[in-house]
Structure 1
Amino acid sequence: MALRQNSDKEPNIELFIKAGHDGENVGNCPFCQRLFMVLWLKGVKFTVTTVDMRKKPAELKDLAPGTNPPFLLYNGALKTDFIKIEEFLEQMLAPPRYPHLSPVNKESFDVGADIFAKFSAFIKNTISFSDSLVQERNLLREFKRLDNFLNSPLPEEIDHNSAETIAVSKRQFLDGDRLTLADCNLLPKLHVIRVAAKKYCDFDIPTQFTGVWRYLQNAYDREEFKQTCPADIEIEKAYFSAANKRK
């Protein structure tokens, strides 16, 4: 079992993420952004290296042969599985020096589990227009589920000693008013959906999903999310080929 980080010494952390089409800026990769956000929220010092996947530098081929970003160097040790990296960081970068980011409510992780898969099926549809309508309805169903969750008060929002009943949650994020691992997982995917679906499918997240829009607006107000997002053009280029095969 790994030991927690020594409280007197900062770890040496380097995160490797996918580069954009210019070979330098942040590329489209929700999993890369996920770890970028986790490290930022932890408040730990770290460096970020963007990797041009078209001409991966020789030193990186030697460092992580056959591995695509994201991957991590932690005090010189290579970590390559992003799920395991997230678990590792939560264990190593622990209180009192670093905050825990795990959500309190399990459903905070579960609620958006299928939304990206439904989006992928929608934007990559090559079968028929009628099939595309079915896939759009499937995507909207997932957004409705997310909206219901975001508008429903969490147990900790309900004061059973108060005569007032909270009908609609006012929390900022999935698990409350702080960003957690659940948000680091879902928000990068929602950003991709918002940009790519609008560009290629003329699809907007419906305004009646007030909980989803409150959630997104709160996220875009946070540097940890806004500054780790790829530029819209990176997302558009990433989905250009798939979207142009649509029927």
Structure 2
Amino acid sequence: MTDNAETGPAIGRELTFLSSWFCPFAQRTWLVLLEKGVQFKLFEVSLKDPKTGLWRQYEQKPEWFLRLSPLGKVPALAYEEDTTLQTVYESCICNEFLEDYAPPPEAPALLPPHPATRARCRIIIDRFNVKFVPVFYRILLRQDKASQDECAATLTEELLWLESMMDPQGPYFAGEAFSLVDCALLPHFLRMYILKHYRGFELPARCRRLNEWYAQATQRPAVQKTLTAPENQEYEAALLKHYSKYADSTANSTSAKDFK
């Protein structure tokens, strides 16, 4: 069996990573795979109907994809273990799985050793998912200025909270070592220029440490490797075009529906 866009990837002992180039949640897991040096096969999933250009709704998604990712979303990981198909989905669960799948010393640790510090990392990720991510999409989807201003105030509040939770020494969230926190946060920070373009919102200058963190973290080779767009397209321009449907509230993706 070979990889096929219609029938899906051939699953073997090597990890198969189901992704879509524009998805920040898939980018989280891609970062973890690269930072840990895990061998994997990347399979790009097209979530749009090529005829209409609209997002496929759940019932329209290929059967093979729903078998590997029952929620119908990327990222997902799949591999065969003793003839049994193993699947993992949802970005933060995929990332925690990879920390167990490729533990130290075989691979770099992406969680600190101290239990309380590990818990702190998970608290930051959880609040970011619950408080920041929905409003990131909402400020684009909302069309009235009052709602956009309210979203901007919430985003600023959450950015200030994130800055307060950073390790005192840094340069990364958990200290000297790059961690799952950095992997979880960076993809949406990489898309902040989209908020600036469409809504005039940007990372406040007063968040000095966050700005320094972003400048350093984005230079990592793993981060740079994930900044890929479809052939013959520049990454930032392609993403800007992709998010235009969020900005005019015509997007019909899962994220648009979940966070509207």
> TM-score normalized by structure 2?
0.70
Q: Residues 18-63 of structure 1, C-alpha deviation per residue, up to 9 Å, x if partnerless?
A: 1xxxxxxx2x21111111111111112222121122359xxx7436
The number of equivalent residue pairs is: 206
Aligned to 1:160: none
Task: Summarize the alignment of residues 213-232 of structure 1 with structure 2, pairs less than 5 Å apart.
Answer: 213-230=211-228, 231-232=235-236
Matched residue type, 2:149: L
Aligned residues of 2:140 and 2:249 also touching (Cα < 8 A): no
2:109 counterpart (100, 103, 119): 100
Is the partner of 2:44 in helix, strand or coil?
A: strand
Aligned to 1:14: 16
Task: Summarize the alignment of residues 62-141 of structure 1 with structure 2, pairs less than 5 Å apart.
Answer: 62=64, 64-65=66-67, 67-75=72-80, 77-82=85-90, 83-103=92-112, 104=114, 105=117, 106-111=119-124, 113=128, 114-126=131-143, 128-141=144-157
Aligned residues of 1:16 and 1:71 also touching (Cα < 8 A): yes
Matched residue type, 1:73: A
Task: Summarize the alignment of residues 152-167 of structure 1 with structure 2, pairs less than 5 Å apart.
Answer: 153=168
Q: Which has the higher contact order (CA 8 A, sep 6+)?
A: 1
Task: Summarize the alignment of residues 37-76 of structure 1 with structure 2, pairs less than 5 Å apart.
Answer: 37-54=31-48, 61-62=63-64, 64-65=66-67, 67-75=72-80
Structure 2: gaps of 5 or more residues:
1-12, 51-61, 229-234, 251-260
Using the TM superposition, give the Cα deviation of residue 180 of structure 1 relative to its aligned residue in structure 2, in angstroms: 0.9
Using the TM superposition, give the Cα deviation of residue 143 of structure 1 relative to its aligned residue in structure 2, in angstroms: 1.1
Matched residue type, 1:125: R
Using the TM superposition, give the Cα deviation of residue 187 of structure 1 relative to its aligned residue in structure 2, in angstroms: 0.9
Structure 1: gaps of 5 or more residues:
1-10, 19-25, 154-168
Q: Residues 76-133 of structure 1, C-alpha deviation per residue, up to 9 Å, x if partnerless?
A: 634142243323222221122122212452333433522222222222223x322322
Matched residue type, 1:79: T
Aligned residues of 1:32 and 1:69 also touching (Cα < 8 A): yes
**Distance in 2 (alpha carbons) for counterparts of 1:135 and 1:64:** 33
Is the partner of 1:75 in helix, strand or coil?
A: strand
Is the partner of 1:97 in helix, strand or coil?
A: coil
Using the TM superposition, give the Cα deviation of residue 245 of structure 1 relative to its aligned residue in structure 2, in angstroms: 4.2
Matched residue type, 1:75: E
> TM-score normalized by structure 1?
0.74
CA separation of 1:98 and 1:121: change in aligned 2, threshold 3 A: same
What RMSD in Å do the two structures reach over aligned CA positions? 2.4
Task: Summarize the alignment of residues 177-188 of structure 1 with structure 2, pairs less than 5 Å apart.
Answer: 177-188=176-187
CA separation of 1:91 and 1:108: change in aligned 2, threshold 3 A: closer
**Distance in 2 (alpha carbons) for counterparts of 1:15 and 1:42:** 14
